[in-house]
Structure 1
Amino acid sequence: MNPVIAITMGDYNGIGPEVAAKSLLKIDTKASTPVWIGTPSVLDKVIAQYGLPLLYHLASDIYDIKEQHVNLLPLQSGHQEAVISYGTVSGLAGALAMKSIEFTTELCMNRTVSAMVTSPISKEALSLASCRFPGHTEYLASLTGSKEVLMILTSDRLTVALCTIHLPLKNVAGQITDEVLTRNLTLFMNSLKKDLGIESPTIAVLALNPHAGDGGILGTEETDLIRPALQKLNDKATRFEGPFPADGFFASAAYENYDGIFAMYHDQGLIPFKMLSFGGGVNFTAGLPIIRTSPDHGTAFGIAGKGTADSSSFLEAYHLALKMVLNRNSFHQ
C-alpha cells in the first residue's frame, strides 16, 4: 500500500476544515492515501457550503480505507455532535480537536498510518477543554513520550529551527544552556539529513543578544555558551556557523547561503520566516518517533466561513509529510 497520510480535524470553527478540503481536491491519490480524521458533519458542511467537488470514502475503521481515494475516518469521541460556529472559541471544539490529535497519534505510533498532518488548533479552546499544553509540539511530545523535540519550519526559501518556543520572552535566556543548545542543534542537524535529505548541511546559528552581545557589553551568552557549543559540534558532515546578529543576517539575505537557520526564540525565527514564506511554509516536529507536519498558520477565526482561506500551506504540509516518509525510508536503508 502507498503511504497513508492522516489529517487531523483541528478546530472546526476556524479555517482548518476548509483548507484541508481544498487540499484534498489536489492530492495525487495514486502516490499516497489521505485520511481525514474527524466529525463527518464538519467536512460535509464545508463541502456543501463552498460547492467543492470532493468525494470521499467513509471508512468504518482504519482497515477499511481505500487506496486511490480520499478517505474519511469518523472520530468516535463520546462528545456531543459538533456544530460549526465560525470564529467562535468553544470548549467542545477544543475537546474534539484534542481527540482527533490523540487518535491520529495513536495510529502513527502503531504504524497503521505513515504520517500525520495537523490542522490548526485554538490554544484558548484547548484550555477550555482542560488541555494543559500550549501547542501541538508540546502535546505531541507528551503523547509520544518524547523528551527531546524541536520545532522546525521550512519553505522553498529557508528552513528555521527554534531553540525555545512557547514561553515568555523574559524566560528565554534562562532556558538556553549548554545541554539545550547541544541537544537542539543535534536534533536540527539530524533532521536536515534524515527528513529533508540534505547529506552535509550547513547551519547558521543566530545570536541571543543584540549585536551578538557586542563583546560582552550586551550579554555574554554568545561567548560563554553559543560559540563553545558550535565548536564542540562541528564535524566533517555538518558545519555550524555563527552566532550571527539576527537583524543583519536577514537584512543581508545571508539566509540564502545556509541549509538551516537556528533561532534562539520564537519571534526571532518566525517573523522573518513568515515574511519570506507565508502561504508556502510548513511546520514540522523533529525528535518525535512519528512524522508530523502542519501549515504555518493558525485557525484564522477572522476569515473562517468566508471561503477565502488559502490552502497552499496546508497542501505543502501534506506534500512534506509524504516527502519525509520517503526520505526516512531511504535514510534507513
Structure 2
Amino acid sequence: MKQGENIVVGISIGDLNGIGGEIVLKTFEDSRMLDFCTPVIFASIKAMSFFKTHFNSGINFHSIQDLNNIVHNKVNVFNCWNEPAKIEFGVEDPKMGEFAIKSLEAGTKALKDSQVDVLVTAPINKHNIQSDTFNFPGHTDYLAKELDGDSLMFMITDDLRVGLLTDHVPVKDVAEHITPQLIEQKVNTVYDSLKRDFKIQKPKIAVLGINPHTGDNGVIGREDDEVLRPALHKIKEQGKLVFGPYAADSFFGSNNYKNFDAIIASYHDQGLIPFKTLSFGQGVNFTAGLSKVRTSPDHGTAYEIAGKGIADENSFKEATFSAIQIFKNRVGFEALTKNPLKKAARNGRR
C-alpha cells in the first residue's frame, strides 16, 4: 500500500458453485466499501459476469491481467484463467475445486509479493480441492506453508476471540497431538496476536481443558493434570496472564468468557460450537501468527442455498473489515516498535 492509497484487499473466490460469488457481490454493491479499500477478486471476468447477471448486480468490474493495473475506486477482477467455467450452483464438482485453487494460489502469491495488502478467502469445498499438487485440509494449512510464522485458527468478533490448540484433527487423535511444545507455541501465538493485531497491551487468556471436567483429578483422563496444567504453569512463570484449564461445558454458559481477551480451546468443536452459537453470521476466521493478514467468513460453501440470492454477506463483510483493521493495527504496532522514543512518550502519558 502506497501512502494515501486505500488498502488493497485480495479476494479468492472459493467454490464457484457455492455462495462465494454472491456474498462478494453483495459486499461490494455497497459503494461506500470503495471509500476505504480497493478489492481485487482473483477469478475470471467471465465467471464474475455470470454472477453479475444471475444476481442482477449493478457492479461494474474492472478486468485486469496485470496487478500493476489495479484501479482504486473500482472492483478489480484479476483473470486467473480464461477457459469458461460451467457453474452449477449446489453441485460438488472437481473442476470447481481446480478453479478455487487457481484463485487461492494467485491471491496468495500477490499477498506474498505485497501486490495486495490482505487476503480474504471465500469458502472452498475441502473435498474437491484435493489433488496430487494440492493436499491440504484447507486454507489455514496451505497458508501456513506459504507464509512465514506459526499459523493458528483464530475465530473473532468484537467481543469474543477463540483460538484452537488443534484444528482439523480427528477427535480420537486430539489428546496425542497436544504436547507441552504445542501448548506453548499456540499460547504465544495468541498472546502476540492480541498485542500486535488487536492493540491489547496486557492480554488475559483462558485455556479450556482437554477432558470433561478437566479430567476430574484423573478419573476422566490424565492429560489435563499431566500435560496441560504444567505447560500453563511454565507460561505463567514467563509473566503472561494465562489461566486454566477451565471445564469447557460451563465456561461459555456462565459468561466467564467475557473476563478474557481470548479463549483457547483444545479442539475444533469445543471452541467453534460456542463461538458460532454466540456470533453466527458476524464471526470471522482469522489466521493469526503469519507474516501477512488473511481472514474469511465463519461459514462454508452453503450448497443448499447457492444461487438463490438469499445468502447473508455479513460474515464476509466483517472478514473484510477485520482484515483492514488488523492490517492497520500491524502497521501502527510496527511503527511503534521501530520508534522507541515514541513508545516511551506514550507510556509516559499513562
TM-score (ref. length: structure 2): 0.91
Q: Does 1:83 align with 2:98?
A: no
Q: Does 1:258 align with 2:260?
A: yes
1:262–1:45 Cα change, 3 Å: same
Mapped partners of 1:262, 1:60: distance in 2: 42
Q: Does 1:61 align with 2:66?
A: yes
Between the two proteins, the alignment pairs up a number of residues equal to 330
Residue 245 of structure 1 aligns with an amino acid whose one-letter code is: A
Counterpart mapping for 1:33-72 below 5 A: 33-72=38-77
Q: Which of residues 109, 133, 136 in structure 2 aligns to 1:133?
A: 136
Query: How far 1:235 sits from its partner (Å)?
Result: 6.4
Name the SS for the 2:33 alignment partner.
coil
Q: Does 1:15 align with 2:22?
A: no
Aligned to 1:167: 169
Mapped partners of 1:55, 1:117: distance in 2: 20
Structure 2: unaligned runs, 5 residues or longer:
336-350
Q: Does 1:6 align with 2:13?
A: no
Mapped partners of 2:245, 2:90: distance in 1: 41
Counterpart mapping for 1:92-131 below 5 A: 92-127=95-130, 131=134
- Superposed CA deviations along residues 242-278 of structure 1, whole A, max 9, x for unmatched, are 1000011012111111110000000000000000010
Q: Percent identity?
A: 42
Of stretches 106-115 and 126-135 in structure 1, the one that deviates more from structure 2 is 126-135
- Superposed CA deviations along residues 11-63 of structure 1, whole A, max 9, x for unmatched, are 00000010011011235212121111102222212211121221222223111
Aligned to 1:32: 37
Query: How far 1:190 sits from its partner (Å)?
Result: 0.7
Residue 317 of structure 2 aligns with an amino acid whose one-letter code is: L
CA contact (8 A) 1:263 1:269 kept: yes
Name the SS for the 1:142 alignment partner.
helix
Residue 32 of structure 1 aligns with an amino acid whose one-letter code is: C
Residue 21 of structure 1 aligns with an amino acid whose one-letter code is: L
Of stretches 125-134 and 285-294 in structure 1, the one that deviates more from structure 2 is 125-134
Moved >4 Å (runs of 4+): none
Name the SS for the 1:123 alignment partner.
coil
CA contact (8 A) 2:174 2:267 kept: yes
Query: How far 1:187 sits from its partner (Å)?
Result: 0.5
Query: How far 1:236 sits from its partner (Å)?
Result: 8.2
1:235–1:82 Cα change, 3 Å: farther
Name the SS for the 1:181 alignment partner.
helix
CA contact (8 A) 1:92 1:129 kept: no
Mapped partners of 1:189, 1:325: distance in 2: 17
The CA RMSD over aligned residues, in Å, is: 1.6
TM-score (ref. length: structure 1): 0.95
1:326–1:231 Cα change, 3 Å: same
Mapped partners of 2:239, 2:17: distance in 1: 46
Mapped partners of 1:328, 1:238: distance in 2: 21
